[in-house]
Chain A
Amino acid sequence: MNKAAMKWKWMALLCVSGIFLLPLLLMLLASVKPAEQLTSDPYTLLPDRVLLENYRDALEAIPYVKYLANSIVLCVGSVVGTVISCSLVAYGFARLKWRGRNLMFAVMIGTMLLPWHVTMIPRFVLFSELGLYNHLAAIILPTFLGDAFYIFLLRQFFLSIPEEISEAARLDGLSELGIYWRIILPLSKPALITVAIFQLVASWNDFSGPLLYLSDHEKFPLAYGLEQFVSSYADQTHLLMAASVMFTLPMIILFFVAQKSFIRGITMTGSK
């Protein structure tokens, strides 16, 4: 590739990222502007003065640390549940041959097409009869039952591991569980990390789970806290922006830290 072409491509990438990031940048700028500037002068980009107090005010309005702790509990619980259950099930679909396997897999794909509305209310009734209403467990426990999308991804990945490895392990006398635990899992690190990160972000942003199942504000996660914040401070954009930045920041940090493995995992699950 010649130097000129590379330069153009680089410029194009820069332009597009600029456009994409502009709203985020605006959000960041708005979060430090004083309230009056937003109402009187909405088009000026730069703040008159930088108000880090907006962040302090936003922090005072919601119990950030408490909600953050709840979010962490939910995220960790969900990720653990997801990774364990989805890898087990994907192993069953990918590395084992059994009668009815393809049918069950098709059924699983079918469940992905089901809109959540069909199952949302009956699930709520079921969970409340089980006494799970207003417990974080109502949100975490279902992740231990697998998720079709992640199972699909992991199955793709498991299928790409050569069969000979399993054969050799079986000849060595390893049980299926042993093969799963000692061989397949370690080989699948990138894919597992990908699934973990996807689920982590999903749990972090999950707001419908707490909406349905939680009513004790000791248990609210940050996503729900942010939504409450939006309704009570609807006319104070600067605070809303500050709260939004605080909410998004951990995920951005996480992504920067983990992006290499994340992208690698995506790329590898793509290859069949």
Chain B
Amino acid sequence: MAAEARGIHRWSGWLFVSPWLFGLALLFVYPFVASLIWSFSEYDLLTSPRYIGTDHYERIASEIVQGKGVGKALWNTFYYAAVSIPLSTMLAICLAVMLNWQVRGQAVFRTLFYLPSMVPMVATSILWLWLLDPRDGMVNGFLSFFYETPPLWFQGIQEGVSISSPFQFGSKDGLTLMSLWGVGNFMLIYLAALGDIDTTLYQAAELDGAGSLQKFRYITLPMLSPIIFFNLILGIIQSVQAFTQVYLVSEGTGQPAESSLLISLQLFLAAFRDLEMGYASAIAWVLFVLLALMTWGLFRSSRNWVHYRGVRI
């Protein structure tokens, strides 16, 4: 009784959390350990695993060095994340700011902007495969006014955000375009955060003679920085997990020439085409370690640019 009055709940806390704990053991800890063991074995799900030491990791290392297979997939994922995350962040914030304007029909606009992200990925993929066809697609029909050789999109191996082939958009850029179209979820989160910003800050700035741009730069952005940080991490996780659209636009092969082979597709192929569960587990672990390092690095750097209002998340 006394303990409860003090607010320390010994058992009930664990009890409430127990469904998740059970899930943790079953769906995380066990698979975690199992996949680690498998990553050191040759395993095809049909016969029992056979220990082979670090062979898989050596193979991954050599593929990274050669820039093929897993190496290519990691590069592709990095490129995709590096291009799409900044662009979608900027777009999402812009859209959120626009949707925060007190205009007539605000609710309707909010729905309209969110609509594209409700379309299932399968339908989105079909739609964009059709729109980005280099010959018959509407996008290139529009772009042909500006280009002598219009970009190949899902049939091209080029990387449009590079010095060697600027604006010659290839398969990964097509994926970026798709992700920009589906930016609704991030936009909503920013919208919620915008509503959270203390309006007195803006009023004080206006009294000091600040214009819209300055208000944005010195108030809005810093206030949003924790959310930007949060979405950054979410965005990285999403790029790494992106599967359905990658599979569909590349017909399951990462074509052309492995240019659209993102890491989750590579993992899928290793596991279910090549029947190499051990190798796939090793890839998953390498991925996990890389992500953990990156997240840790981001957390460290966040002290420099993320402005918490005195409260840690």
Q: How far is the CA of A175 from the CA of B243 in the complex (A)?
A: 45
* CB of B88, distance to nearest CB on chain A (Å): 13
Decide if A113 touches B98 in the complex (CB within 8 Å): no
Decide if B30 touches A98 in the complex (CB within 8 Å): no
Q: How far is the CA of A129 from the CA of B123 in the complex (A)?
A: 34
Chain A CB within 8 A of B280 CB? yes
Given A9-B101, A98-B14, A27 and B127 contact (CB-CB distance below 8 Å): yes
* CB of B73, distance to nearest CB on chain A (Å): 12
Decide if B284 touches A266 in the complex (CB within 8 Å): no
Secondary structure of the A side of the interface?
helix
Interface-forming stretch among B17-25, B54-62, B151-159, B161-169? B17-25
- Chain B residues with Cβ below 8 Å from A35 are none
Which A7-41 residues have C-beta < 8 A from chain B? 9-10, 12-13, 16-17, 20-21, 23-24, 26-27, 30
A221-259 contact mask (Cβ, 8 Å, vs B): 1 or 0: 001001100100000010011001001100110011001
Chain A CB within 8 A of B201 CB? no
* CB of B142, distance to nearest CB on chain A (Å): 9
Chain B CB within 8 A of A50 CB? no
Decide if A270 touches B196 in the complex (CB within 8 Å): yes
- Chain A residues with Cβ below 8 Å from B35 are 118-119, 121-122
Chain B CB within 8 A of A189 CB? no
Interface residues in B, total, Cβ within 8 A? 92
Interface-forming stretch among B63-71, B78-86, B114-122, B213-221? B114-122
Q: Which one, B10, B99, B114, B271, contacts A121 given CB within 8 A?
A: B271
Given A125-B45, A237-B130, A252-B115, A117 and B188 contact (CB-CB distance below 8 Å): no
Given A118-B288, A121-B271, A23 and B128 contact (CB-CB distance below 8 Å): yes
* CB of A138, distance to nearest CB on chain B (Å): 12
Q: Which one, A26, A101, A205, A270, contacts B13 given CB within 8 A?
A: A101
A-B contact pairs, 12 of them (CB 8 A): A17-B109, A85-B20, A98-B9, A115-B291, A119-B27, A144-B19, A145-B23, A176-B9, A226-B122, A255-B115, A259-B111, A272-B196
Other 18 A-B pairs with CB < 8 A, given A113-B237, A113-B295, A117-B264: A88-B16, A93-B17, A96-B16, A97-B13, A98-B13, A104-B21, A108-B20, A113-B292, A115-B240, A120-B31, A123-B27, A146-B20, A208-B244, A259-B107, A267-B195, A270-B195, A270-B196, A271-B195
